[in-house]
Structure 1
Amino acid sequence: MKPVILIIAVLLFSLLVSGQEDLVIDKVSFEGNSSISASRLRDQMIMESSSWFKEKILGKQPVLFTQSLYKEDIKRAKIFYQKEGFLDVEFSEPEILVNKKNKVEVTIHITENNPVTISEIRFEVDSAHQLNEVLKKREVRKIILQTKASEEKVFRDETMQRDKLVIAEVFYDSGYPYTKVTSDLNVDTLKKTTSIDWSIDRGPLSYFGKTSVSGNVRVPDKSILRQVNYKEGDVWSKKKIDQTQDLIYNQGNYRVASVRTQLGTSPSDTLPITVNIREAPRWSTRFGVGYGREDQFRTFADIQYLGFFTNTGRLNFYAKHSGLEPYNVYLKFSQPSFLFSFNTLTLYPYILRQNEPGYKLDKNGYSITFLQNFSEELSTSIGYIFEDVQLDTTNFAGIDNVPDEETYYRKSGLVFGFTYNNSEPILDPVQGLVVSFGTKTNDVIWKNEIPFVRMLADVRTYAGISKGIVLALKAKMGGIVRTDDNDFIPVEERFYAGGSYSVRGWSRSDLGPKDESGTPIGGNSLFEASAEFRFNVGRRLKFSVFTDAGNVWHDSFSYHFNDLHYSSGAGIYINTPIGPAGLDFARPVFDTESKWQIHFNIGHTF
């Protein structure tokens, strides 16, 4: 009977649609698609709704309904469903209605049935070894945490392709450029499950050969080859290739800097490297505008000249305006590879006006800094800074009792800092540690000009609890102290807490000491801590819950942990090519203050 019923249904469908052929499609809708949104299904189809806006404004021709077009769209939608793990999806005959506008309304009925889930994932290397037998513990964790497929989750083709690249990358970084990764699926059609067997063939262990350079005109070969992050004869590593490419590109003189391995038709244990260069134009400009809740309207312009003074020197003129910085203008000269491939010298004269909640001031000065990137994880900086500072008024930041001569002051001193960062991935870490420390000393050359020492330490760690769940922790501590008998600390050097990247239940600089009018006056000691759970709730969507704590105290290096302020909240983020972007909603807890704060951020707050 089933073949007869099917034939009758096809005949009825053919008779039904014959009267609607070549009519404009007014609306396409779906019923039964609980797992996949209508918008994603429409992306697979040529049939689309018509509208006045599409026709008159966008100039699109309306789509005409035909039986052949419908069948092709259903075929594409079915393939899409199967790639999403729904192997037994069914599409019933559609409802086709000619409305009063003499246009066709199409309703597509879908029975998704249960998707195929992953029952087990296994790895085998060279047909004989397990992952932990050939890889270090950290590399094994990278595969486990960064691959998306996991047991009891729905099987998806897109996830498999991405995971294949993650697995191969780990072996590329270990010296195996010929690695091949394949997978076998064992589908149980009754239980609607599949196991995944990853097979990794490493190929030979390879080594770096000779490196050649091409495409450069203005910059000599030797300036480029100084940036190479390996030696001939070292074990080949894709990571070192990428690092070398970054070091060359970061010289800032190239539009394209491509470092490639010449892989022969047959596997080889010695691989020559080519560096292809396309130099950037000498003159370039950048402009931008934006809006933020704290800095309000902002705009900037950046003009750059390459090859200034040396073959690789860069000169930048930068100007910015925002609510927090009414003007910020500087001229910066950068000389990459100053002493070593990882060393950069910068000379930086500037003028700046700051308009913070606790103070307003104008300052001008310059700095000389040496930046060192010792590795992908470790970087340091050391330099000298000189500033002239003029406070706009004397009723900001609790300095009513400061002598007039101290509303203008001079600062000069040494600055030093380092950052260790092995977290990965860079824009959205799921594991690793970030440690940064900075210190600043004033009154090195100009004596009796407000001598002080300022220190700030920041520690962040990321732990992948399970697939799609990350625990992020942060602790931050700072202190500043005068090194003479005076107690005046410049307002811009004091610590402030509260805001988007601080304790999120408060507005910018709203935590800590205040004057009689409620204006933040800053303090000499700072402590902040945060704990945040981050959840993947879709391919591009993230959700977070967090608790922040912190405060600022007047005395130097004096921390009262029974006097912390706390806030809790949640955030929602969308993954973008430049990192997560979204909103945080937070309010104080255990506090008389109870107002909600909303913060917009590009990138995680830590």
Structure 2
Amino acid sequence: ARRSLQGACQGMGYFYCKVDVQRDFRDGGEVGLLFNVNEGDVFFFGKTIVKGNSRTRRPVITRQLQYLEGEPVDPSQLLQSRQMLLKLGLFRSVEITPRQSGENEMDLDLDVEEAPPGTVSFGFGYGEYELYRGFIDISYSNLFGMNRRGSFRTEHSTLWSRYMLNFQEPYLFGRELLSTTTLLYEKRKEKNIDSGDISYRIEKVSFSTGLEKDFTSRTKGILSYSYSINRTSDVQPDVVLTRDDTGTLAISSITPGIIYDTRDNPFDPTRGFLASLRVKFASEALGSESRFVKTTARTGVYFPVARRVIFAASVRGGTSRVFGETEDLPLVERFFLGGRNTVRGYGQDSLGPIGADGNPKGGNAFAQGNVELRLKVTGNWRIVPFMDAGNVWIDPDDADTSDLKHTYGAGLQYNTPVGPVRLDYGRKMNPEEGESTEKIHFSIGHAF
């Protein structure tokens, strides 16, 4: 009670406010409390002296401050300012020290220690479908000293190659708007899941740009635009594709969405909740050769159930509809499930309808659920038992939970700065006759 009262008093500008408590012992065992409050003088914020920012420009720092010069001093605003500065990821340490500079004025000494702005990360993996795969990511987090971020990432496997250039502007037009622009080039081979022969090749070039706006500390809205050119080639005679999936197809779309996120760490959460909803809209008015509406939703929950055990669960779903002259959703926009990050125990993208050529056709609707117990064994090692479920449907009206495919298994993880390295063993609960009963998956990062 004394600390709460003192904090409330200091929050009104009485920086040197002191609260003493006297106890009055009464008959019958009662104890009375008398609070003596010595407010002192009201102090106001003065100048902020920034030190230690050799690369970062002063406006990047001052726009994160939660107080204004001339306002009554509130220690809680200093704490919030420090947290906002650390959240930028530009500084190893931030210290804000009040210093009396006048009769009723407090200047602030703001000392920062900058973190290295450049990073290089890489990883590798192995999967039964694409065999060997790996990536290299080169990024710089403080371009021109304005917290602008640029990165180049390349990913390769025996089946695909991908190159991405990314640029982020965190304060577009002087407002708290995060702008992200991405250029992507991708070449991919699709193979028959039974014979392993290459069925066709897909080449994709895309441009996307989007905005993110924080409505609260936990809720943000997103709006993005994407334009892609997709070219299918070397289609084998036994492969059945729709008219839109052969040759070259341009897709132009906008995607609004909303995200609610209370996770303590987006890369390795130990507690919190995540929910998101996105609607992708492609039409002729945007310059698209395909017309559809595609909706995806996701929820996730994370919390500790014991000292070294984290419970994690996720539910995802999606549906799509075509309109106008478009008869079928393009192959590159369909939902696919199965593999290391969806339903472990099944081959990559192997769930759902199978075409006459023996390849997965993907679908217009999907449902997926995952549950894990993340048990820390020792150091950076974890054992993770899990259960997965999911399926894909051609017609959203045919979606039925009784059609879900279920798997169970366990994984071994080693935590690294770029996420956990995972080796998962998944087993199908009710495999079809002649179907394999188990799969081993190797990957980097949590499944969800």
TM-score, structure 1 normalization = 0.56
Q: Is 1:490 matched up with 2:326? A: no
2:316 to 476, 481, 491: 476
CA distance in 1, matches of 2:286, 2:416: 48
Q: Give the equivalent residue in structure 2 for 1:322.
A: 157
Confirm or deny that 1:506 pairs with 2:346: yes
Q: CA deviation at 1:540?
A: 4.4
Q: Which of the residues 65, 77, 82 maps onto 1:228? A: 65
**CA distance 1:245–1:396, shift in 2 (3 Å):** farther
CA contact (8 A) 1:390 1:409 kept: yes
Distance in 2, matches of 1:573 and 1:393, equals: 39
User: Which residue identity lines up with residue 367 of structure 2 in the other structure?
Assistant: F
Distance 1:518 1:428 in 2: 38
**Deviation digits for residues 361-383 of structure 1, max 9, x if unmatched?**
11213122113345553333212
State the AA in 1 paired with 2:363: G
Q: 1:529 to 1:291 in 2, by over 3 A?
A: closer
For 1:90-105, what aligned pairs fall within 5 Å after superposition? Answer: none
Give the partner amino acid of 1:419: I
- Contact 2:315 2:369 (8 Å CA) reproduced: yes
The CA deviation at 1:427 is: 4.4
Give the Cα separation in 2 of the matches to 1:314 and 1:426.
Answer: 18
What SS does structure 1 have at the residue aligned with 2:243? coil
- Following the alignment from structure 1 to structure 2, what is the Cα–Cα distance between the partners of residues 410 and 490? 10
2:134 paired residue among 298, 306, 309 = 298
CA distance in 2, matches of 1:579, 1:548: 21
Compute the displacement of 1:304 (Å): 5.7
Matched residue, 1:368: 209
Q: Deviations over 1:182-208 (max 9, x none)?
A: xxxxxxxxxxxxxxxxxxxxxx9x998
User: Contact 1:498 / 1:507 at 8 angstroms: preserved in 2?
Assistant: yes
**Paired residue for 1:351?**
185
Quote the Cα distance in structure 1 between the aligned partners of 2:274 and 2:141. Answer: 34
Q: Which has the higher relative contact order, 1 or 2, with Cα contacts under 8 A spaced 6 or more apart? A: 2
> Displacement, 1:295?
6.2
Alpha-carbon shift at residue 550 of structure 1 (Å): 0.4
Structure number with the higher helix fraction is 1
- The more displaced of 570-579 and 383-392 is 570-579
Structure 1 residues 430 and 346: CA distance shift in structure 2, 3 A: closer
Residues 230 and 541 of structure 1: CA distance in aligned 2, closer, same or farther (over 3 Å): farther
Are 1:596 and 2:438 an aligned pair?
A: yes
1:433 aligns with 2:273: yes
Give the superposition deviation at 1:459.
0.6
| Bigger Rg over Cα | 1
Report the aligned-residue RMSD: 3.9
Deviation for aligned residue 1:353: 1.6
Deviation at 1:578, TM superposition (A): 4.9
1:545-592 CA-partner distances (Å, limit 9, x unpaired)? 221110001114641211111101112334445554332211100222
Counterpart amino acid of residue 272 in structure 1: L
Report the Cα distance in structure 1 between the residues aligned to 2:307 and 2:123, rounded to whole angstroms.
38
Residue identity opposite 1:416 in structure 2? P
Amino acid at match of 1:400: L
- Residue 23 of structure 1 corresponds to none
Give the deviation of 1:447 after TM superposition. 5.0
Q: 1:458, 1:477 within 8 Å by CA — same for their partners in 2?
A: yes
Q: Could you tell me whether the CA contact under 8 Å between 2:335 and 2:366 is conserved in 1? A: yes
Aligned-partner SS, 1:484: coil
Q: Is the Cα contact below 8 Å between 1:208 and 1:236 reproduced in 2?
A: no
Kept in 2, the 8 Å contact 1:313–1:334? The answer is: yes
Alignment-mate amino acid for residue 343 of structure 2 = V
Identity of aligned residues (%): 26
**1 CA distance for matches of 2:397 and 2:298?**
15
Q: Is the 8 A contact 2:295 2:319 kept in 1?
A: yes
Structure 2's unaligned 5+ residue stretches are 5-38, 193-199
**Structure 1 residue corresponding to 2:405, chosen from 565, 585, 590:** 565
Distance change >3 Å, CA 211–CA 325, structure 1 → 2 = farther
Cα drift, residue 313 of structure 1: 4.8
2:366 is the counterpart of 1:526: yes
Q: Measured at CA, do residues 301 and 579 of structure 1 come closer, stay the same or move farther in structure 2, by a change above 3 Å?
A: closer
Distance 1:425 1:311, change over 3 A: closer
In 1, are the aligned partners of 2:98 and 2:106 still within 8 Å (CA)? no
TM-score by structure 2 length? 0.74
* CA shift digits 1:237-278 (9 cap, x unpaired): 6465233222372xxxxxx4642122789xxx9793515365
The SS at the match of 2:88 is helix
Contact 1:397 1:519 in 2 (8 A): no
Q: Deviations over 1:344-366 (max 9, x none)?
A: 22333332223355763112131
CA contact (8 A) 1:573 1:582 kept: yes
The structure with the largest strand share of the pair is: 2
TM-superposed CA distance for 1:473, in Å, is 1.6
The aligned residue for residue 15 of structure 2 is none
